[in-house]
Structure 1
Amino acid sequence: MNSNLGRVAIVTDQMTAFGGADREMLSLLKLIPTSDIYTVLFNPEGYKNIDIKQKIFTSFVQKLPFKYRFSKHLKILNPIIYEEFDLGKYDTIITLSAGPARGIIPDINQTHIAMVMTPPRSLWDHELNVRGSKLRNIYRPISNILNNYLRLWDTSLVPRVDYWIANSTFIANKIKKRYGVKSKVIYPGISNEYFEKFKKEEIDNILLRYQIPQDFVLIVSRLYDYKRIDWAIKSCIKTKDNLVIVGEGPDYKYLKKLSKGYENIYFLGFLDNDRDVRMLYNQAKVLLFCGVEDFGLVPVEAMAQGTPILAFREGGVTETVLENVCGQFFLDNDELTKLLKKFDKKGYNEDKIVDRAREFSEKVFLENLNQYLKQIHD
């Protein structure tokens, strides 16, 4: 731990369902275990098997009725929510965010380090994730109007940040484009557990428990429309590959309807046992990654089990997956279908895939981050 940081507050987006940003936060807490956590909203149900010992402070949204159901529709309140956090007792504030957490107001003697997952997609990439909502025809025009205001607020936050960290070169370029500032690229990492080796009996038990076949391709993702899980479903319907989908989200009903009548599509929902997910990585013949992600921890997690990747050719995944060594890239749904039809896992060297994943271990991430934090305070 870098003792020069003094008292540290970590400010995140709402914590309602465990995901990639939370994994990065858990890694950060290993480096700075005495930190306090501030978030808009915390849902303990989404973190039942996650051991977080630090204090978690929430906003007034925590007291609202129906907060978990409507929290994503309260973005008009973001300036009020984040600016009301009283962080005066801390020396260093680290905002870990894919949203508006940078909106906190630091004192002139505080250091604000922004670890940016991505500039807010709903503001800059037209990703509203309302395809599965009955209110989508109402929400879209209202959101378009609000986004004009929120983009102005988002860009006004630049002077509040002292140091910028991007989780990929892809995001560093976005930060430069949206905010006109340079950032330090520090790749996130996966913990040692993802490299665990499994016995055949354990794998067989998992397949039996979830009632899935031995031969399958895998999706591990929150179910949002920008993840393009519908591409994977459409391709697997054509190729007749078994598709196992791990995750939940607002696009579930749409995806379930899309796959209706096809017995080769399996929805497992959210699995709160990480070890089960790791065994599915191990058994899958390939992981499909169809969306544009800032970094993309899931492909690295699958690679740690020696599983190759078929991914959309954009985003952080192009910096982690070595083409023809760890997998292949596609640009549209038709290309994905063609790659699946001719895919053969035996054409990949499992050891080389695992070696590549080790370059993005949690140990490497924490070493790089700690070194950068020391540079800031030296």
Structure 2
Amino acid sequence: MRGLLVHEWIEAVGGAERVLDAMADEYPDADLFALWNDAPDRYSGRRVIESTIARTPLRGRKALAVPLLPTLWSHGLRRLDEYDWALVSSHLFAHQARVPGVDPAQQFTYVHTPARYLWNPELDARGASAAARIAGPVLRAVDRRRARGLHNVAANSRFVQQRIRDCWGVDSVVIHPPVGVERLTAVDEWSDVLGDCDRALLESLPVGFVLGASRFVPYKRLDVVIAAGRASGRPVVLAGDGPDLERLQDLAQSSGADVRFVVRPSDALLAALLQRAAVYVFPPVEDFGIMPVEAMALGTPVVVNASGGACDSVEAGRSGIVLDDFADATLRSAVDVAVGLDADACRQRAETFSTARFQHEVASWTGIRSVSRV
């Protein structure tokens, strides 16, 4: 049976791409389709088909392309060969895809989230633009109508499952994404594999620090990580990069906390930071949240927001603490309790989000047998 994997667009780095990687590994004979492919070596040896928009000036210009995408997804795949089944990875409009030859009952849609800037603009700054406000009502109506034609839908967390129900009126099953804990646990001590510069930087950091690691953008709420350090009397390390760096530096300077910045850490240094931290604090409202699982895989307890998908990954009281508010007293208590949690319990919890588990659950959900397992 011929299969097609469908993805919004393929980038060099991204959580959604990790999901696509796992799907591609599970179904090695399936073709891939995306609006455009900006990582041509990612699936070498595979047939990766780009949409017509990839040959226009709109390639990669997501905001400008949005008004055209519903039409492209519903009609733009007609030129393809016919397929027997399709597995769709969607975080914008890919769930609207109509794949030639595929019975709707054989099209399976894995939803990272309904488009946040359309349905939850309070969580995505793009939804505040004038263009988004004008086009929003029409795009939401089209999105809801087409989503209601889906037969098989999976959500990446209970939080997204509820959002799918609220936005589209569609039921779904929950299949948590693959985190790739195998890569992290393959190295016993990440500091041992660092180069000289990274090792010197790591050793310069204070002991027992609270870690925040993400892109430096406002919705990641790294100000809460600084507050957690101040409230608990612990030093803070913020790792990442982004447009919010200068504001965070100003906030750190005025906070009274000992805050260190590690800008653009390498993958190995980030893993070493996660492994060495006393606790990893993750305050944003996310669809799932891969970083808390990575921290737990390295034996580090986490503090996460009760709102959002990150709380799916935490076994409260064993591998981390789930918070309903970020008051100083709450943060202080959460950090104090979290640092005393058992590292082995954290690792055991993270193991439940392995790539192998994800692939098994996808195969069970779709009923499509991988030729690599025959």
Question: Which of the five TM-score ranges fits, normalised by the shorter chain?
Answer: 0.7 to 0.9
Query: Structure 1, residues 281-311: CA drift from partner, whole Å, max 9, x if none?
Result: 2112221211122222221111111111111
SS of the residue aligned with 2:154? strand
Shift of 1:154: 0.7
What is the aligned counterpart of 1:80 among 71, 76, 79? Answer: 71
What is the aligned counterpart of 1:256 among 229, 246, 255? Answer: 246
Identify the residue that residue 193 of structure 1 maps to in structure 2: 183
Identify the residue that residue 291 of structure 1 maps to in structure 2: 284
Matches of 2:204 and 2:37 in 1, distance apart? 33
Change in Cα spacing, 1:204 to 1:212, as seen in structure 2 (3 Å) is farther
What is the aligned counterpart of 1:321 among 314, 317, 320? Answer: 314
SS of the residue aligned with 1:295? coil
2:19 is the alignment partner of 1:24: yes
Matches of 1:66 and 1:180 in 2, distance apart? 32
Identify the residue that residue 178 of structure 1 maps to in structure 2: 167
Matches of 2:290 and 2:120 in 1, distance apart? 20
Matches of 2:44 and 2:275 in 1, distance apart? 27
SS of the residue aligned with 2:129? helix
2:236 is the alignment partner of 1:242: yes
- Of the structure 1 ranges 311-320 and 81-90, higher mean CA displacement relative to structure 2 is found in 81-90
2:217 is the alignment partner of 1:229: no
- The alignment yields a C-alpha RMSD, in angstroms, of 3.2
1:282–1:307: 8 Å Cα contact kept in structure 2?
yes
Aligned amino acid, residue 102 of structure 1: H
> Kindly, what percent of the aligned residue pairs are identical?
24
- Of the structure 1 ranges 12-21 and 215-224, higher mean CA displacement relative to structure 2 is found in 215-224
SS of the residue aligned with 2:140? helix
Matches of 2:230 and 2:59 in 1, distance apart? 37
Matches of 1:168 and 1:195 in 2, distance apart? 24
Shift of 1:73: 4.0
What is the aligned counterpart of 1:42 among 32, 37, 41? Answer: 37
1:94–1:115: 8 Å Cα contact kept in structure 2?
yes
- Of the structure 1 ranges 122-131 and 278-287, higher mean CA displacement relative to structure 2 is found in 122-131
Unaligned 5+ segments in structure 2 are 370-374
Matches of 2:315 and 2:292 in 1, distance apart? 11
Change in Cα spacing, 1:77 to 1:52, as seen in structure 2 (3 Å) is same
Change in Cα spacing, 1:343 to 1:98, as seen in structure 2 (3 Å) is same
2:365 is the alignment partner of 1:365: no
Q: TM-score, normalised by structure 2?
A: 0.83
1:190–1:301: 8 Å Cα contact kept in structure 2?
yes
Identify the residue that residue 3 of structure 1 maps to in structure 2: none
What is the aligned counterpart of 1:90 among 83, 86, 91? Answer: 83
Shift of 1:363: 1.7
2:239–2:264: 8 Å Cα contact kept in structure 1?
yes
Change in Cα spacing, 1:333 to 1:345, as seen in structure 2 (3 Å) is closer
Matches of 1:375 and 1:335 in 2, distance apart? 50
1:13–1:97: 8 Å Cα contact kept in structure 2?
yes
Q: What count of residue pairs does the alignment treat as equivalent?
A: 356
Unaligned 5+ segments in structure 1 are 1-5
SS of the residue aligned with 2:272? helix
Aligned amino acid, residue 79 of structure 1: P
